[in-house]
Amino acid sequence: MKKVIWSIVLCFVFNNSVYAKDYAKIQIREMEKAQKYSTTDRYYADYTEDNVFNKNIKDPKLIHLGGYSTIEQSKLNAKNAADNLIYSKIKSALCGKKADDYNVQAYGADFYKVYRIAEKIIRANNLDFMNWRIVFSKDNSFNAYSSETNCITIHAGAFDSLSANDDAIALLIGHEMAHSILGHQVRAAKYMHKIDSFPEDSALRAIAIKAYVSDSKKMEYAADTEGARLAVKAGYDLSKAKETLSFIYTMSNDSEFSYTHPTGKHRLENYAESRKYFMEDEMKKQGVYNIYKSEVLKPRLSSDRKSLVIEKNTAKTQAEAYRTETPVDLYTRYAYKSYLNGEFEKAEEYFSKLLELDRKNPVAYLYFSYTEECLYKKTGKKKYLDNAKTFVNYAQKLAPSDKHIQEQVDAL
Ligand SMILES: [Zn+2]
């Protein structure tokens, strides 16, 4: 009997050590996989504000985006105080309702939260020339989508994952609004119509589907970039929108989703790359100006009492409504940020494109001259020095008394 017990004990000890050894190996292998697949730190590592800024390069800060003028702080404060008074009334009206009033449970506070974020994005971007609609779906999956009637549907699964983070919600709403304002639903519907016009299993149908899938991915990149711009103009911080970025990465593993969407890795690369050329301070100033010039947009429950309508500003004229970015603004920020990022060849290309559109711009000629000077210092090629002199001379003809231009003439 003693012998049997002894062998059982031995066996237990032996097995235990084997399990422990294997268990450690499993942990190590799993940690290695986690390094590869983790949706946390790794995938926003590159997504940081204003990467390279070379302090040695010349920048008298003369480049600005159009579309705003600076408002006195006291006037801004007065306007914000007046707006906040209206918001507090809206808040008590929305949050004071009984759950039964909504047909959906306890959505008052959630409505208010999403209303404030969406309304801020709408006003900051002059999108208040039309009504917007927010629908809360009870669906527990993480998703959101928009329709051509400016209706944004947010699943409970998405809202509940993001609800503590306004920046993340803003990035999600911005993306969906971007689909609407860039006309993506109409573009997609045209593909659907075309696909349906061919017989099932036909080669032409397969070609039409392929064309749709490829274009759909381009639309996602565009909505990501434009959506991020909408959120930045409303004052939201993209660096803090980590839950949305993490979601985008995670969703790319879903085969149905990844059929029409680029991979998460590519979408995050597109975010980081696009953002390298944002002029975020300038964009925020445009947003502050647009909010100052607009009035609080009132929410109301929709006729089916399941969604929230954010009413348009009826006084808005066509001329004041949202416009996609002008080519001049786009080339301005690409040229300027390429220069600041030390990408001088790119800056050279974008400054020439900008000057083709805006020939009488002395500031652009001055920065073109700085760029060529940097290229001269980098390569030692004399042609860049000659270019630098030529461009600063153009600048001086356009603005003879400018001191920064005179300094550059003297420096060269
Ligand atoms: Zn999308």
- The residues spanned by each domain of the chain are 73-320, 327-411
Show the low-confidence residues of the chain (pLDDT under 50): 1-14, 42-43, 45-52, 103-106
Expressed in angstroms and rounded, the spacing between residue 171 Cα and the centre of ligand 1 is 11
Looking at residue 15, its pLDDT comes to: 52
Expressed in angstroms and rounded, the spacing between residue 175 Cα and the centre of ligand 1 is 6
Most distant CA atoms of the chain, gap in Å = 109
Expressed in angstroms and rounded, the spacing between residue 269 Cα and the centre of ligand 1 is 16
Expressed in angstroms and rounded, the spacing between residue 223 Cα and the centre of ligand 1 is 6
- Residue 154 phi/psi, 5-degree rounding, is -115, 125
Expressed in angstroms and rounded, the spacing between residue 271 Cα and the centre of ligand 1 is 13
Q: Which of 49, 12, 108 is nearest to 277 (CA)?
A: 49
Rounded Cα–Cα distance for residues 371 and 57 (Å): 9
Residue pair 387/347 in contact by the 8 Å Cβ criterion: no
The pair of structure tokens assigned to 116 is 């404030």
Cβ atoms < 10 Å from Cβ of 96: 9
Expressed in angstroms and rounded, the spacing between residue 346 Cα and the centre of ligand 1 is 29
pTM value is 0.85
CB proximity list for 250: less than 8 A, separation 6 or greater: 39, 142, 264
Alpha carbon separation from 189 to 183, 200, 204, 210, 230 (Å, rounded): 10, 18, 17, 15, 24
Q: Which fold has domain 327-411?
A: 1.25.40
Rounded Cα–Cα distance for residues 375 and 287 (Å): 35
Helix (H, G, I), strand (E, B) or coil at 278: coil
Rounded Cα–Cα distance for residues 194 and 405 (Å): 56
Task: Count CA atoms within 13 Å of residue 120 on its CB side.
Answer: 23
Expressed in angstroms and rounded, the spacing between residue 257 Cα and the centre of ligand 1 is 10
Expressed in angstroms and rounded, the spacing between residue 176 Cα and the centre of ligand 1 is 6
Rounded Cα–Cα distance for residues 244 and 164 (Å): 12
b/e map of 161-190 (b: 16 or more CB within 10 Å)? bbbebbbbbbbbbbbbbbbbbbebbebbee
Rounded Cα–Cα distance for residues 373 and 244 (Å): 41
The pair of structure tokens assigned to 57 is 């390069």
CB proximity list for 189: less than 8 A, separation 6 or greater: 148
Render pLDDT for 303-317 as a digit per residue (tens, 0 to 9).
877 788 999 988 887
Rounded Cα–Cα distance for residues 261 and 219 (Å): 9
- The owner of tokens 């309304």 is 119
Expressed in angstroms and rounded, the spacing between residue 284 Cα and the centre of ligand 1 is 24
The pair of structure tokens assigned to 273 is 């790359």
Q: Which of 10, 49, 36, 24 is nearest to 271 (CA)?
A: 49
Give the chain's length: 412
Q: At what angle do helices 362-379 and 382-398 cross, to 10 degrees?
A: 170
Expressed in angstroms and rounded, the spacing between residue 288 Cα and the centre of ligand 1 is 27
Alpha carbon separation from 42 to 171, 245, 251 (Å, rounded): 19, 11, 16
